[in-house]
Structure 1
Amino acid sequence: MGLDLSGVAFITGAGGSIGQAVAVGFARHGVTKIAGVDINSKGLEETAALLSRTYPEVEFLAVTADLTSETAVREAVQQVVGKFGAIHYAANNAGIGRPFGLTGETNADDYDRVMQVNVKGVWLCEKYELEQMVKQAPRTVGSGAGVPERGAIVNTASILGLLAMPLLGVYNTSKHAVLGLTRTDAIDYARKGVRVNAICPGFVDTPLLLDSTKKALASTIDRTPQGRLAQPEEVADAVCFLASGLASHITGVALPVDGGFTAT
């Protein structure tokens, strides 16, 4: 089923498994201008090649950038707008995990790195995405008579933004912060024609989730009602839905994509 998306999509972390799936998802639902932003240029090349094979009508712009740098983020947004003229959908997906450990035993440098990427990076992207979106002419989206909208942002948080797990104090903190930002901006920009939502994935089957980690999480996964890991494409589907006109009256939500984990 198509979501009838159109316009320009801006995706961070587009060189990783979930970001790549989001890019493919937007293409599948009708977006033909997609910008992928990542510090991993090789990953962006792989995403570009995949889109070229499967959706040759899509124009993909790869932007290599460190999203913890305000200059880099500002220039990335300017480059995309200069190429495509607008940003209608933004998926702020870039993030990192680690470290495991008690707070009293955690290195401050590790804390700074996680917060720089997972919080500051999302904040910077939102800052310049919102600055661009509010300048854009509204488009009609949604069912029936439709409603005017200038843009839609979907941030990637985590189920660990809704609850907590042991030994992940820094990561838990960063994802709670993403939800705080999402909810605040949803309020502040609702009447400016921009929706801001977040997805909260559970455990996703990506190359970053090593076999050893899967074994360590086996009992946790077994307690999930669906009893399995999510696929990147399932996370991407949630992003595309929240970006689409089908979610035109949805803003400020933290949508679990976790197989029911947070319901138990």
Structure 2
Amino acid sequence: MTGLLDGKIALVTGGGNGIGRETSLAFAREGARVAVADYEAGAAAETVSLINAAGGQAISLSGDVTAAAQVQAMLDATIAAYGRLDCAFNNAGIAPYQVDSFGQLTHEWSEASFDRMIEVNLKSVWLCMKHELPLLRQAGGGAIVNTASIAGLVGLKTSGAYVAAKHAVIGLTKTAAMEYAEDAIRVNAVCPGFIATRMTARTREQRGDAIIERTPMHRFGEPREIAEMVVWLCSSRASFVTGAAYQVDGGWTAT
């Protein structure tokens, strides 16, 4: 039995841990060769080691997804290793606590924190697509999945800039889907709910019980559950799906 992504070449940003790592592993399990990129070079290398140990094929890349030259270098390295690009998962991102804004109301955010959030969670997605889309055109088509969030669908208190960036990612995703449909390029977004990752550790510690109570499935999600959605969106089984934003949130946004 062949995998859903047999013979495909996939790039994952933020692939060193959490959702990015699980998606990199899932891509490889489904037959793709994977370029794993992460700001933390050691984390990317560890993901690659896990893939190779399981019989897959992967390379590790490091760089800053907010810097155009470094994004270009990631894509150049992917092409040098594999010859083309078929799928991209633009997943790298940060949470409010990483810009010293955890628990802050909109007027309490500093300008520097706001700018950094937009740079990492929005500009990086645009920069990655800017360099990926020409390569997908050259390949005759392909698929991009951008990591948005349930915060791209609803408001969340004390997460102003994060919510703004994730709403914008969905808008950018829909626009690119319209622009490149005739090139056989599909562009979608995945909207994770509260997932058990390093990024959500502080939130789970402080508000975990309340979140679980609010979530119809009464638990946090697992990174692998996001990975499965990303794999499907990149596969031919989602051949008529573009411009969509899929929430994987245990029913959180349904309440």
Same fold (TM over 0.5): yes
Indicate the residue corresponding to 2:29 in structure 1. Answer: 28
Contact 1:11 1:19 in 2 (8 A): yes
1:29-108 equivalent positions in 2, closer than 5 A:
29-31=30-32, 33-54=33-54, 56=55, 58-98=56-96, 99-100=101-102, 101-108=104-111
1:22 aligned partner, one-letter code: T
1:53 aligned partner, one-letter code: A
Distance, in Å, in 2 between the alignment partners of 1:66 and 1:219 is: 35
* Seq. identity, %: 40
CA drift of 1:105 comes to: 1.2
Which one is further off, 217-226 or 17-26?
217-226
TM score, norm. by length of structure 2: 0.94
Aligned residues: 249
CA drift of 1:212 comes to: 5.9
Shift in CA distance, 212/178, structure 1 to aligned 2, threshold 3 Å:
closer
* 1:102-158: CA deviation from partner (whole Å, max 9, x where unpaired): 12111111111111110011100001000111112x3xxxxxxxxxxx110000000
Which one is further off, 99-108 or 173-182?
99-108
Stretches of structure 1 lacking an aligned partner (at least 5 in a row): 139-149
Higher helix share: 2
RMSD: 1.4
Distance, in Å, in 2 between the alignment partners of 1:212 and 1:178 is: 22
Distance, in Å, in 1 between the alignment partners of 2:148 and 2:157 is: 18
Stretches of structure 2 lacking an aligned partner (at least 5 in a row): none
CA drift of 1:39 comes to: 0.7
* 1:10-36: CA deviation from partner (whole Å, max 9, x where unpaired): 0000112111100111111111x1101
TM score, norm. by length of structure 1: 0.91
Indicate the residue corresponding to 2:242 in structure 1. Answer: 251
1:49 aligned partner, one-letter code: S
CA drift of 1:52 comes to: 1.9
- Secondary structure of 1:217's counterpart equals helix
Q: Which runs of structure 1 show a deviation greater than 4 angstroms over 4 or more consecutive aligned residues? A: none
Distance, in Å, in 2 between the alignment partners of 1:120 and 1:4 is: 30
Contact 1:36 1:61 in 2 (8 A): yes
- Secondary structure of 1:126's counterpart equals helix
CA drift of 1:68 comes to: 0.4
